[in-house]
Chain A
Amino acid sequence: MNSQEEQKQSEKIAGLEKKLAELNIEIQTKNRELEIEAALEKVRVKATAMRTSSELAETSSVLFQQLSDLKINVIRTGVGIFDEANDAMEIWLTTVSDSQEVVRILDYVNLHIHPVYENIIPAREKNKPFAVTELAGNQVKQYYQTMSTYLSLPKHQEYNANEYFYSFFFSKGALNVITKQKLTNEECNIMIRFAQLFGLIYTRFLDLQKAEEQANETLKQTSLDRVRGQIASMRSTEDLKKITPLLWAELKSLKVPFFRCGIFLVDEVEEVAHVYLSAPDGHSLAVLKLSFNANSLTSNVIEYWRNNAIYREHWEGKDFINWTQSMYEQGQIDDKEKYQDAASIPEKMDLHFIPFSNGMLYVSDILPLSDEEIEIVRSLADTFSIAYARYEDFIQLEKAKQSIESTLSELKATQSQLIQSEKMASLGELTAGIAHEIQNPLNFVNNFSEVNEELLNEMKDELLKGKIEEAIVIAEDAIENQKKINHHGKRADAIVKGMLQHSRSSSGQKEPTDINALATEYLRLAYHGLRAKDKSFNATMKTEFDESIPTINVIPQDIGRVILNLITNAFYAVDEKKKSANEVYEPTVTVSTKKINDKVEISVTDNGNGIPEQVKEKIFQPFFTTKPTGQGTGLGLSLSYDIVKAHSGELIAETMEGRGSIFTIILPK
């Protein structure tokens, strides 16, 4: 090999080596790039898998884990979200609670508080991808000493010589990293990419949070709707008892944590709170009656309720024991274990009283409720106000019902008195007629017995004379007279009995009754009654009886009263017409009976003035009368209607103005 060849050879090798080196670098770069891509991909996958906003913390921690995998050495990391309006930043850190990872706002810092933060402002304004502030020597110590009052910072035994505060921006915030050494350009580029990725994650987080808020709101509204639905179905005061367990069930479904609950109903009249304590499942723990100043808790609750404010109290286990003991001593509870409702005394509890119109909803849990949770209870309390208002409405309603019922029974009593007085009034109308009716048979009784006395004396004379034939003739007359005496005696008796029947309260016993005889009896009574009252009164009475009518089962004195009432009305109607009639007018009242299939009709027809159309609708109404004040009770037709209805019959009025009226009683056989 000549030197020329050697030279070429070595140049070639050198070229190859160079190329190899270049390739190596390229591979390294590509490898690094792959590493970075893989890291970003892991974060992206995690972000895509985010289903709830609470997973943000987990996603953030994956992100920061990738930084360390990529060997970017950082002292601390965090996420800052800008509060643009106030030149401030919320600083989030990841913490892990017992159940799940949660994101907590750890700090809220004004950007002007320190150059480390203040430098962020111009960098963002100039659209720079990041801001960095270097602190050196004493500056580091000063930073931690100054900021420790504002921020949650680790305690230091000694301080780093240098610290670099980086903020890599995304649209709404920044990934904050603190390093001991300045980051290389490459590292900065990686961080920029991570920040961009976090921007996407954060957007997703906000979307999820918004969706969750909407879902929660929907859940809350659904829950409130359920309570409202239950309230709407309230039909009595008893139903309030169904509402309260529902209230607690809904609180649980809305994930408000509590282990005791209750309702304080404020009674301002008696100055007591009625307390209904229960467990979350709705089972009652105790019912207390606490006067307003029974203890500080009650007086505080009342005071806050008056101000429509939420009252909170924190209890240690001993407070619970003391309270239970005092309730026990006051006789408010008789079983301390039942009241405790758990195997052990709670170590601590936070009591919350949320006002509604008539009292406080009470919930307590081992920790204070968050504002959101309180808000949910408050919504339920507001809804409960409606329920309680309804409950009070029902109480009012029930009171009103009771008062109406007592009024009704008073009315019924009054009505039965009125019915009695209507009876007595019609009896009064009849008395004169009845007197006349009795007078006639009594006259016959007296006259015939006087005649008989004479006849018997004559008979004695004839017998003394031995004229037996004559005596027998006289005796036969006397016997006939005796029959008449007996007949008229019975007639008077029947009238008195009828009168008694009329004035007596109805026996309510149906009995087979001869309708024609009943109608005749009352027609005569009515006629003579009116005649007795008004001497000038007269009318033609006609009867058209269907003799084939069998006896039918009715309460005779009741149906008699109906017939009497209809006839009296008919006589009144014809008399009114007679008083005003100029032409020749023959007042006529006809009582007719008729058998139609399985029914019996009793009609009372008059040729009076008829009933005007506007009056016709009202004639069966109680207290409606066309008679001058004091002359009619207005109960006659109304009672008649009721009596006929009670016999499963009908009372029908037909009328033609100027021509007269027909009232028809239709009774089943």
Chain B
Amino acid sequence: MKILVVDDEQDVKILFEQRFRKEIKNKEIEFVFAFSGEEALSYLNTNSHEAVLILSDINMPGMSGLDLLGQIKSKFNAPPPLVMMITAYGDKENYDTAMKLGADDFLTKPVDFASLKDKLKEIK
């Protein structure tokens, strides 16, 4: 399973790689990282259908996670990838907007990696 992680924090890459090192080692999960909404879109444009799940931060300079969500849900629909939004601001407004745009899940920072792993198992 290929997961695209979108976050403007570079260290997210190392963190995910460490957190999922067993899964990566066992080739259960493959991670791809994009550090902005724009980068994520260009990745999706060239590698469509590869990523099954997109984990995106909302709060990013330039294109925000919500913008990205909207674009993904409108452009990539055969089949549409799952998009989970992650944000530090777990407020209702962000949640409602994300859900309206078609987010499949909504996680708040700090990410609970145990429950994230459970969710990923369900998807598999």
Chain A residues with CB under 8 Å of chain B are 435-436, 439-440, 442-444, 446-448, 450-451, 455, 477, 480-481, 484, 487-488, 527-528, 531-532, 535-536, 538-541
Are the CB atoms of B11 and A444 closer together than 8 Å?
yes
B14 to A: closest C-beta gap in Å: 7
In the assembly, what is the distance between CA of A153 and CA of B67, in Å?
Answer: 130
Looking at A435, A436, A444, A535, the one whose CB has the most chain B CB atoms below 10 A away is A535
Q: List, sorted by A's number, 25 A–B pairs whose CB atoms are closer than 8 Å.
A: A436-B59, A439-B110, A443-B111, A444-B9, A447-B15, A447-B110, A448-B18, A451-B15, A451-B18, A451-B19, A480-B14, A481-B14, A481-B18, A488-B11, A531-B59, A532-B89, A535-B89, A535-B93, A535-B94, A535-B97, A538-B62, A538-B64, A540-B62, A541-B61, A541-B62
In the assembly, what is the distance between CA of A541 and CA of B38, in Å?
Answer: 13
In the assembly, what is the distance between CA of A450 and CA of B91, in Å?
Answer: 26
Residues of B within 8 A of A531 (CB): 59
Residues of A within 8 A of B91 (CB): 535
Near A by CB (< 8 A), chain B positions 76-91 give: 88-89, 91
In the assembly, what is the distance between CA of A443 and CA of B19, in Å?
Answer: 13
- Whether A528 contacts B59 in the complex (CB less than 8 A), given A443-B110, A444-B11, A535-B94, comes out as yes
Residues of B within 8 A of A455 (CB): 18
Residues of A within 8 A of B15 (CB): 444, 447-448, 451, 484
Residues of A within 8 A of B64 (CB): 538
Are the CB atoms of A446 and B110 closer together than 8 Å?
yes
Near A by CB (< 8 A), chain B positions 10-39 give: 11, 14-15, 18-19, 21
Residues of A within 8 A of B94 (CB): 535
In the assembly, what is the distance between CA of A487 and CA of B59, in Å?
Answer: 21
In the assembly, what is the distance between CA of A436 and CA of B89, in Å?
Answer: 8
Q: Is the interface of A mostly helix, strand, loop or mixed?
A: helix
A447 to chain B: closest residue by CB: B15
In the assembly, what is the distance between CA of A484 and CA of B17, in Å?
Answer: 14
Are the CB atoms of A439 and B109 closer together than 8 Å?
yes
Are the CB atoms of B62 and A484 closer together than 8 Å?
no
B46-69 interface code vs A (CB 8 A; 1 in, 0 out): 000000000000010111100100
A538 to B: closest C-beta gap in Å: 5
A542 to B: closest C-beta gap in Å: 9
In the assembly, what is the distance between CA of A538 and CA of B66, in Å?
Answer: 10
Residues of B within 8 A of A477 (CB): 18, 21
In the assembly, what is the distance between CA of A484 and CA of B88, in Å?
Answer: 20
B83 to A: closest C-beta gap in Å: 18
Residues of B within 8 A of A540 (CB): 61-62
In the assembly, what is the distance between CA of A480 and CA of B15, in Å?
Answer: 11
In the assembly, what is the distance between CA of A536 and CA of B59, in Å?
Answer: 10
In the assembly, what is the distance between CA of A443 and CA of B113, in Å?
Answer: 12
Are the CB atoms of B113 and A447 closer together than 8 Å?
yes
A448 to chain B: closest residue by CB: B15
Are the CB atoms of A527 and B61 closer together than 8 Å?
yes
B96-124 interface code vs A (CB 8 A; 1 in, 0 out): 01000000000001110100000000000
In the assembly, what is the distance between CA of A242 and CA of B36, in Å?
Answer: 82
In the assembly, what is the distance between CA of A70 and CA of B63, in Å?
Answer: 135
B67 to chain A: closest residue by CB: A538
Are the CB atoms of A538 and B63 closer together than 8 Å?
yes
Residues of B within 8 A of A538 (CB): 62-64, 67
A20 to B: closest C-beta gap in Å: 152
In the assembly, what is the distance between CA of A444 and CA of B12, in Å?
Answer: 8
In the assembly, what is the distance between CA of A125 and CA of B9, in Å?
Answer: 131
Residues of B within 8 A of A539 (CB): 61
Residues of B within 8 A of A448 (CB): 15, 18
